[in-house]
Amino acid sequence: MEQEEARAPLLQPQPRGGAGETAAAGGTKAGRARRAAVEWWVESKKLWNIVGPAIFQRIALYGINVVTQAFIGHLGDLELAAFSIASTVVAGFNFGFLLGMASALETLCGQAFGAKKHHMLGVYLQRSWIVLLIFAAGLTPTYIFMEPLLLLIGQSPELSRLAGRMSIWLIPQHFAMAMLLPLTRFLQSQLKNWITAVTAGAALAVHVVVTYLLVQYFQLGIVGAVAAADMSWWLVVLGQLVYVVGGWCPLSWKGFSMEAFNDFWDFIKLSSASGVMLCLENWYYRVLVLLTGYLKNAEIAVDALSICQTINGWEMMIPFGFLAATGVRVSNELGAGSGKGARFAIIVSITTSVVIGLVFWFLILYFDDRIALLFTSSEVVLAAVHKLSRAARPLRQAADEPDMAWPTRAHGVAIGSGWQALVAYVNVGTYYLIGVPLGIILGWPLHLGVGGIWSGMIGGTAVQTVILAYLTVKCDWDEEAKIASTRMQKWAADLK
């Protein structure tokens, strides 16, 4: 099988229509319109085969965090603030880095699948596991020493102590992420999307029951809530791992191999660039919570902001599903040598995500502060959420509407094309040279508080959207297809 795959040409331009396509191209306007409609329908089906399960999986996995936060929020304001700090400052930073590193697997597995080099996917998966587990081990001390780190940067002793205690219990999730992220991308790149959705949905259902038992019945408090989340994440890992190694991926999984250590440095470079790209973005929003800890009534401000971010994060699961689908479709087309196909996949994905995103945007915009009742019964926190939501709404209306497509446009395209390093530079400029300073100015000198911090950061995201949209439009996709072909040829030769 591997010899047959090795003889298959890497560049295999894919026709965009049927046998009558050429005739239709030179025919009437109606004929060309029908041809365009057929192409759009075909690409939409390919897209939704990935998008549907991807959105469901992300909503379910994010739901684990939502359920945990909801149970903890009803324990008390301090507990909610501590969980927000623990899951945001350290866990959020580390998750963003591991998520970014795993996106390198989307680039390589997606292009290998498009080039019919199926046996390479399993090698890439093992290589990604090794790299992510090494980096996960290196990041573990940030959980262990979280309390002194928070005290060092001026957070309150009580909040730092509780957040530090909670962070220790987040370590199992940390290593679960290092295993799960490569597994999910390995399966998505070869269109085995249903298994990712099923495992996530089953884990969420179990999590609700287990969290209720540990928190309400056994009265284990915050430790019970976080321990339940640990177990749920590992359930997802075990479900997907059994599927992969149990024989359901016969073309792409040939067993464990020492070839995973070949060309290791190039893989680390691509993974590190991917890690920096998403880590900078992920940490950008975590900085917001950290800065909020320095405001007056920090406990209430952190609670309100974390609830708003959780609601916003739930909203973003829709475009993040399109992010995954765009990355897979672009990398598949580039791996098959079709620059035109990659360009068309981007157009369909962005257009569809904007339409779907606008619907959910209006719903969240209307109900966002009401959803806060899921997370707290504190009248003070609910009032703060309401005030924050209203204060930031004008800028959200200006920034979030185009932002519905930015994960797809920016990271989906970047991951599918291998542009991670370029996007990292864009993120640094727009987030940390525009968004953070603007948020600080609005928050303190202009006395707008947490609403000003949030508004400044949304402004940085809007600038990022414009820049990455320009890069996508100006890209030569035929040249990107040649680059993908060269990469596949080199790495295929290394495996011989």
| pLDDT tens-digit map of 404-435 | 444 445 556 666 666 777 777 887 888 889 98
Residue type, 232: S
State the DSSP string of 349-388: HHHHHHHHHHHHHHHHHHHHHHHGGGT---HHHHHHHHHH
Q: pLDDT tens digit string along 98-120?
A: 877 887 787 788 888 888 888 88
Q: pLDDT tens digit string along 129-154?
A: 999 999 999 999 999 999 998 888 77
Greatest mean pLDDT among 91-100, 247-256, 298-307, 450-459: 247-256
In a domain, 397, yes or no: yes
Tell me what pLDDT residue 47 has: 87
Q: Enter the DSSP assignment of 214.
A: I
Give dist(CA 461, CA 235) in Å, integer.
Answer: 34
Closest CA to 371 of 434, 306, 436: 306
In a domain, 30, yes or no: no
Q: pLDDT tens digit string along 485-496?
A: 776 666 556 555
Token duo for residue 213? 């038992």
Tell me what pLDDT residue 173 has: 94
Q: What is the dihedral sign for C-alpha 221, 91, 312, 348?
A: negative
Q: pLDDT tens digit string along 371-384?
A: 777 787 788 887 87
Q: Worst-scoring range by mean pLDDT, 2-11, 165-174, 361-370?
A: 2-11
Contact (CB, 8 A) for 54 and 325: yes
Q: Give the residue carrying structure tokens 């573990």.
A: 140
229 or 400, which is more confident:
229
> What is the pLDDT averaged over residues 161-171?
93
317 or 369, which is more confident:
317
In a domain, 194, yes or no: yes
Confidence check: pLDDT of 187 > 90: yes
Residue type, 204: L
In a domain, 32, yes or no: no
Tell me what pLDDT residue 368 has: 58
228 or 285, which is more confident:
228
Confidence check: pLDDT of 472 > 70: yes
Distances (CA, A) of 52 to 48, 49, 55, 191, 236: 5, 6, 5, 11, 18
Closest CA to 281 of 412, 401, 193, 411: 411
> What is the pLDDT averaged over residues 78-90?
82
Provide the residue range defining the domain that includes 303.
39-495
> What is the pLDDT averaged over residues 468-484?
76
64 or 288, which is more confident:
64
As for how many domains the chain has, the answer is: 1
Contact (CB, 8 A) for 237 and 183: yes
Contact (CB, 8 A) for 480 and 333: no
Tell me what pLDDT residue 19 has: 41
In a domain, 157, yes or no: yes
Q: pLDDT tens digit string along 296-353?
A: 666 677 777 777 777 777 777 777 788 778 878 888 888 777 888 888 888 888 788 7
> What is the pLDDT averaged over residues 207-234?
95
In a domain, 3, yes or no: no
Angle at 457 between CA 433 and CA 454, to 5 degrees: 145
Give dist(CA 15, CA 340) in Å, integer.
Answer: 10
* Per-residue pLDDT band at 9 (split at 50, 70, 90): very low
Closest CA to 14 of 454, 271, 445, 345: 345
> What is the pLDDT averaged over residues 65-87?
88
> What is the pLDDT averaged over residues 218-243?
95
Token duo for residue 138? 């290196």
In a domain, 185, yes or no: yes
* Per-residue pLDDT band at 169 (split at 50, 70, 90): very high
Contact (CB, 8 A) for 155 and 50: no
Give dist(CA 455, CA 443) in Å, integer.
Answer: 9
> What is the pLDDT averaged over residues 15-20?
44
34 or 244, which is more confident:
244
Percent of the chain predicted with pLDDT > 70? 80
> What is the pLDDT averaged over residues 121-125?
93
What are the residues whose beta carbons fall under 8 Å from the beta carbon of 488, sequence distance 6 or more? 10, 111, 112, 115, 117, 335
> What is the pLDDT averaged over residues 63-73?
91
In a domain, 328, yes or no: yes
> What is the pLDDT averaged over residues 219-231?
94
> What is the pLDDT averaged over residues 283-299?
68
Give dist(CA 317, CA 150) in Å, integer.
Answer: 30
Confidence check: pLDDT of 365 > 90: no
Token duo for residue 103? 């996106």
Tell me what pLDDT residue 294 has: 66
Contact (CB, 8 A) for 177 and 95: yes
Give dist(CA 183, CA 181) in Å, integer.
Answer: 5
Task: Calculate the average pLDDT of the chain.
Answer: 79
